[in-house]
């Protein structure tokens, strides 16, 4: 933890100088019945109840994660509930009107405010208006790292300075040193302010992974850095060996986690993308039963408006005998100044 904090601080200090200089209880769907961003069996009942206008199931779910300090699950559930509230805001309004100081409602409202601001031309103004919500959510439970993850995303969207971001990061990891969501937020911030130079992102991701428990999703942070590099269109080359090492670490992590687990779905979908771009066909095929029916918007929505359709097409291509041409058609590599990866081996939001 101390090392990753020191590295993040050093990267941000260097960036400062550089800038100055320059469905409930139902069985999961079968593998062939893939669904996009499916909730797990704890979140699904809360969403079903929310669709009826009821908030008690969501409240109880978030209360349970707080009581058990299940911060990773809490983070995912807050994100999922905020996504629902974005299309059905009256549900959250009723919850907050009935319990304005409820910790779960404050968190969902803070997440929703950031989500709404992100695509807006008035992002900066909307994010300023969201700040009191994030502060209230953070004060509601001093142990909870999730408000600090939201604050880190808020800082990235606000183009906050590096010193301020570093203060938020230190507060976040003080509460949960290996919280996956906070590490992803930090990686995204580094990617934003080091755009075109991915080596700093790899440095941070690799050190964080070394410091994480064997089954922690933080072990998959380097493959997220690899995805950011492979999906980008600028910046100096990252050596093939570093990409393969990130993929190897992620393949090992995927093998340690339960198969067809929605909690690992986004990680495995991003890993699949990286393996396809690296033309590691057998490793990619081996991920299909581990992903199961759980396709996720990330990374596929970055390449297609039909994220599920792209996932299904790639899955079918992998199951064939000659996937290379079909995958290349469905998933063309973005052009890079230095060409593709063939010179270093096989070709290959934050």
Tens-place pLDDT, residues 22-33: 334 445 555 568
Closest listed residue to residue 297, CA positions, set 286, 308, 284: 308
322 pLDDT tier (thresholds 50, 70, 90): confident
Percent of the chain scoring above 90 in pLDDT: 78
Q: What is the pLDDT of residue 23?
A: 39
Tokens in use for 229?
A: 């590099």
Please give the C-alpha separations between residue 225 and each of 32, 99, 112, 183, in angstroms, as whole numbers: 29, 40, 26, 11
Which pTM does this prediction carry? 0.87
Residue 34 gets which letter from DSSP? -
DSSP H or E segment with residue 35: strand 35-36
Q: What is the pLDDT of residue 334?
A: 84
Angle separating helix axes 162-175 and 146-157, nearest 10 degrees: 170
76 pLDDT tier (thresholds 50, 70, 90): very high
pLDDT tens, position by position, 226-251: 999 999 877 788 999 999 999 999 99
5 pLDDT tier (thresholds 50, 70, 90): low
Q: What is the pLDDT of residue 35?
A: 92
Which carries the bigger pLDDT value, residue 9 or residue 292? 292
**Residue 10, phi then psi, degrees to nearest 5:** -65, -40
Please provide the DSSP assignment of 165-229 as one string.
HHHHHHHHHHH-TT-HHHHHHHHHHHHHHTTT-THHHHHHHHHHHHTS-TT-GGGGHHHHHHHHH
CA 180 to chain centre: 8
Question: Does the structure show a pLDDT above 50 at 18?
Answer: no
Q: What is the pLDDT of residue 39?
A: 95
Please provide the DSSP assignment of 216-274 as one string.
-GGGGHHHHHHHHHHT-S-SPPPPHHHHHHHHHHHHHHHHHSPTT-GGGHHHHHHHHHH
In the block, residue with structure tokens 């999906």: 231
- 29-33, 186-190, 191-195: segment of lowest average pLDDT: 29-33
């Amino acid at each position: 933890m101390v090392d990753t904090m020191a590295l993040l601080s050093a990267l941000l200090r260097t960036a400062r100088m550089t800038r100055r200089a320059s469905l409930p209880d139902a069985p999961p769907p079968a593998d062939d019945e893939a669904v996009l961003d499916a909730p797990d069996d704890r979140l699904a009942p809360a969403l079903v109840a929310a669709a009826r206008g009821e908030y008690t199931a969501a409240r109880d779910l978030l209360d349970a994660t707080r009581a058990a300090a299940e911060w990773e699950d809490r983070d995912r559930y807050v994100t999922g509930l905020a996504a629902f509230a974005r299309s059905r805001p009256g549900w959250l309004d009723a919850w907050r009107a009935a319990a304005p100081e409820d910790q779960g409602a404050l968190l969902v409202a803070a997440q929703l405010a950031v989500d709404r601001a992100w695509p807006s031309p008035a992002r900066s103004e909307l994010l300023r208006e969201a700040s009191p919500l994030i502060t209230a959510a953070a004060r509601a439970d001093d142990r909870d790292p999730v408000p600090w993850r939201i604050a880190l995303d808020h800082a990235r969207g606000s183009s906050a300075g590096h010193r301020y971001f570093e203060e938020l990061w230190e507060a976040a990891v003080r509460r949960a040193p290996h919280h996956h969501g906070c590490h992803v937020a930090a990686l995204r911030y580094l990617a934003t302010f080091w755009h075109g130079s991915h080596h700093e992102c790899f440095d941070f991701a690799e050190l964080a992974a070394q410091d994480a428990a064997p089954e922690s999703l933080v072990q998959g942070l380097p493959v997220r850095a690899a995805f950011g590099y492979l999906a980008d269109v600028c910046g100096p080359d990252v050596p093939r060996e570093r990409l393969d090492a990130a993929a190897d670490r992620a393949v090992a992590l995927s093998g340690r986690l339960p198969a067809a687990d929605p909690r690992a779905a986004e990680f495995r979908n991003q890993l699949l993308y990286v393996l396809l771009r690296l033309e590691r066909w057998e490793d990619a095929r081996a991920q299909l039963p581990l992903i199961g029916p759980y396709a996720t918007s990330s990374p596929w929505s970055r390449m297609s408006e039909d994220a599920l359709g792209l996932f299904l097409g790639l899955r079918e291509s992998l199951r064939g005998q000659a996937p290379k041409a079909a995958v290349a058609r469905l998933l063309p590599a973005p052009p890079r100044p230095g060409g593709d990866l063939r010179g270093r081996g096989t070709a290959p939001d934050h």
